[in-house]
Amino acid sequence: MTQEPSSGMTRRGLLRVFAASTVAAAPTYANAFGLLRGAGNVRRVRMYSGRSGESLDAVYWVEGQYIPEVMKQINYFMRDWRVDEQHVMAPQTVDIIAATHKLLDTSEPYMLLSGYRSAATNALLRRQSRGVALHSLHIPGEAADLTLKTRSVHQIYNAAWSCQAGGVGKYIRSDFVHMDCGPVRTWHG
């Protein structure tokens, strides 16, 4: 288990910084990543996969630098389990996941439903569901579908949307939230 050093900033202080940045400026990537800069010198991601049984609890960014070895672990963890294929995940997506988790104020790890998807897996899922995009951002490693037992889809969605850092989809019937680092937009599935 990795211990997270204290950054000296409280969650309430972090929320005040975020609120000020969203009022003062139009929503941009800079706002969301400014939120993360205000979160301290360490970024951490916590997830588990019900499909593979694996879990990940890792500090992936320290003092302005992504840790390459940990990013490789994240790529492996978020692989397409159907074909056991991995891809480089966009660090911005990992940042959005981490920022949203921090805003939700929970120690429960996310359950990862889908990270990277091969084109073949995406095509298979499109045949099974109309809700799967032809040019899904899962294919280039820029998206993740996540859920938490202790937070509702609405709560996760609201936290992710408040980052204003990419796409956020709310899937109430399927009990997950889609987060990606593409254009800022929202939808309900």
**Domains of the chain with bracketed CATH:** 11-188 (3.30.1380)
pLDDT score of 12:
44
Return d(Cα 132, Cα 170) in angstroms, integer: 13
How many percent of the chain have pLDDT more than 90?
70
How many percent of the chain have pLDDT more than 70?
79
Q: Is the dihedral of CA 36, 37, 38, 40 positive or negative?
A: positive
The model's confidence at residue 22, banded by pLDDT at 50, 70 and 90, is very low
This model's pTM is above 0.85? no
The token duo for 125 is 């899922």
The model's confidence at residue 108, banded by pLDDT at 50, 70 and 90, is very high
Among 37-51, 52-66, 76-90, the range scoring the smallest mean pLDDT is 37-51
pLDDT score of 50:
87
User: To 5 degrees, how large is the angle CA 186–CA 95–CA 61?
Assistant: 180
Q: What region, left, alpha or beta, does residue 63 occupy, with left being phi > 0 and alpha being psi -120 to 50 degrees?
A: left
3-state secondary structure 109-159: CEEEEECCCCHHHHHHHHHHCCCCCCCCCCCCCCEEEEECCCCCHHHHHHH
The model's confidence at residue 134, banded by pLDDT at 50, 70 and 90, is confident
Contacts of 176 (CB under 8 A, 6+ apart): 113, 145, 146, 147, 153
* pLDDT higher than 50, residue 164: yes
